[in-house]
Every structure is written in C-alpha cells, then in structure tokens.
Amino acid sequence: MAQFNGFEVVKRYNRPSILLKTLLEMNFTNNGTYFNPYDISACYILPDTTLTNGSPDIYINRDSSATGTDQYGKLNASGEALKVATYQNILEVSAYDPTAVTASGIFKQDDGRYAIVADGTVFPEFSSLGLSDGNYFDAWLVKNFETTEASAGYKLYWNKFTVYQDRVLTFVEPYQLTAKNKLQQKYLQLSSVETLRISTDIFVANKNMPRDIKNVFRNSTARNAQIRIRKRNPRTTGLITDIVDWTSVGVDVSSENTILYTWNTEALETGDYIVQVKYDLFEETVVSEEFSLVLR
C-alpha cells in the first residue's frame, strides 16, 4: 500500500475497496509544466452503472438553454441527485485525517498535483450502494484561469476507477515471482532536475496460474519503494559517498510498477553515480542491482 500523511491508502489502479482508503490523484499541466488551476471547486464521486455504460454523458448539463452560460458542462439534475460523495476545500497533505472533517478535502500534494481519498466509511452514501466490483467516476470541477467569461469558466474533468468487494486471491501453490529492474537514464546533464525512472518487470513462474491472476501481480504490486544514490570517487579517496541515503520521500510507483524519483543535480559534481532501489514484493524485499548514471 501507499502512504498519505502516514495513513495507508490504495491507489486507484491497485484493486481498491469501497471500505478502504482509495487515493484518487489528478495532475494538471499547462505548456509542459505542472500547473495550479485558479480554483478546484469540488470533486464528485458518481456511479458508473449499466445506464452510463462507461460514459458520464447522462450526468452532464448539455441543455441548449445553458449554452454560453457557466452552467453548461456542469452536473445536471441527475448528476446532482446521484453523486455519492463531494470533496471540497484545498488543504495540505499534512491536514489529512480519516477520522476528521478534513477527510472530505481536496489535498494539494505539489504544484499541479492534487488528490482526494475516497473512503466509504466517511461517506455512507458511497458504501451503501454495495456494488460488487463497482465502477465509479471521479469528476473534478475546475476553473483553470481567473476570468469572468462563462465559456472559459468552470468545467468538469472525468476519470474512472473500480472498487472490488472481494480483493482476496487464492491459488493452489506458493506464488513464484521474479522481478527485474532497469534504470531508463544513463546520462544526465549536470544542474538538471530530472525524474529518474526505474522500470520493474515482474514475472510469474507458476505455469498453472490463470492469466487474469498473473495480470493482477503485474499491476502495481511493488510496495514501500525506496531509492539510494551514491557517488564513486576514483580520483580522490576512492570511496563511495552517499548522496541520497535510503529514502521513500519523493518516491512514487506508477501503475506499471515504474519507480519514480525527481532528482535535483544542481549542487552536485560531474562524475559516476550509483542508483539503487528496493521495494516489497509479496512477502519478499527486492534490492535491485546497482545502476551507473553519469552526470556530465
């Protein structure tokens, strides 16, 4: 599981449950950089049922009478009636507490990066639907720029996620997993700020395991990822210097088990560096090989 202000959460693509804390993230960019919208008014959770069939269109106000007004494209009456949770107020991540009123907030993780924590224990309307393997939309009501023009006002951004009533997997023999990592970069320009990407390929050796269960293990099963960066000093002491000791701060894991870490090299020197990651995979702790990375 991932951590959010010290509490365990499950990301949207890692088989969450209605009664677990599901982290729903939203990233905003403008002209190639992370971007803070003028206002994120709310985030709504709405069910994706046989009526919607994967499209939120029936929830959206497209009435011709609303054309050119700030109501066009927002939730219509059906959407207002069927939303099961509403999140408001921009807060810092440090304010998140699942037992407090802040649980219904929208949290700013960094510039352009926001999140909510969908939790059926906080919103009874969410959990009361009792959907097994239920599909939902998270709709973000956003005003990107300060303007009075209705056509450039608030708009909804739609995403999807699925919750599972039963997250337990069973198999008739011990799971046999093998992981292989690869650092995607080999050279970086000194003083650059770049996101290191360490891909993770997970192989399931159980021959009799169904493909759908194998796919579950391939989708974001790397947990508690950490990174370490060291520098080789062959021309001076010959010793290896710790630049970033083992840390989980700033480390993220994508839905494809790629480990991400944004590294600022501005205060460093040219030379050969060593990048290494470790993470939990099932009951094992995997320590990757050492990857060479050159700052030049």
pLDDT value of position 22: 92
CATH of the domain at 274: 2.60.40.10
- What distances in angstroms separate CA 159 from CA 46, 140, 179, one per listed residue? 10, 8, 30
Q: Are residues 142 and 249 in the same domain?
A: no
Q: Are residues 154 and 184 in the same domain?
A: no
Q: Residue 126 has what DSSP assignment?
A: H
pTM: 0.79
8 Å CB contact between 144 and 154: no
What's the domain count of the chain?
2
What are the structure tokens assigned to 91, written together? 């807060």
Q: Are residues 154 and 188 in the same domain?
A: no
Mean pLDDT for back-to-back runs of 10 residues, the chain (296 residues): 86 83 94 91 92 91 76 88 93 94 94 93 71 81 78 84 78 85 96 95 86 72 90 79 92 89 94 94 90 95
Give the three-state DSSP class for 275: strand
- What distances in angstroms separate CA 80 from CA 45, 84, 153, 268, one per listed residue? 10, 9, 19, 53
Residue where a domain stops, chosen among 96, 130, 162: 162
pLDDT value of position 149: 61
Give the three-state DSSP class for 256: coil
Amino acid at 104: S
8 Å CB contact between 186 and 157: no
255 phi and psi angles, rounded to 5 deg: -65, -20
- What distances in angstroms separate CA 292 from CA 153, 182, 187, 235, one per listed residue? 48, 11, 9, 17
Residue 168 inside a domain? The answer is no
Residue where a domain stops, chosen among 133, 162, 191: 162
Which structural domain, as residue segments, surrounds residue 243? 177-295
Compute the distance between CA of residue 106 and CA of residue 96 in angstroms, rounded to an integer.
9
Q: Are residues 137 and 197 in the same domain?
A: no
Compute the distance between CA of residue 35 and CA of residue 87 in angstroms, rounded to an integer.
20
Residue 171 inside a domain? The answer is no
Q: Are residues 200 and 66 in the same domain?
A: no
Q: Are residues 153 and 186 in the same domain?
A: no
Instruction: Enumerate residues 6+ apart whose C-beta is below 8 A from 58.
Output: 51, 52, 78, 79
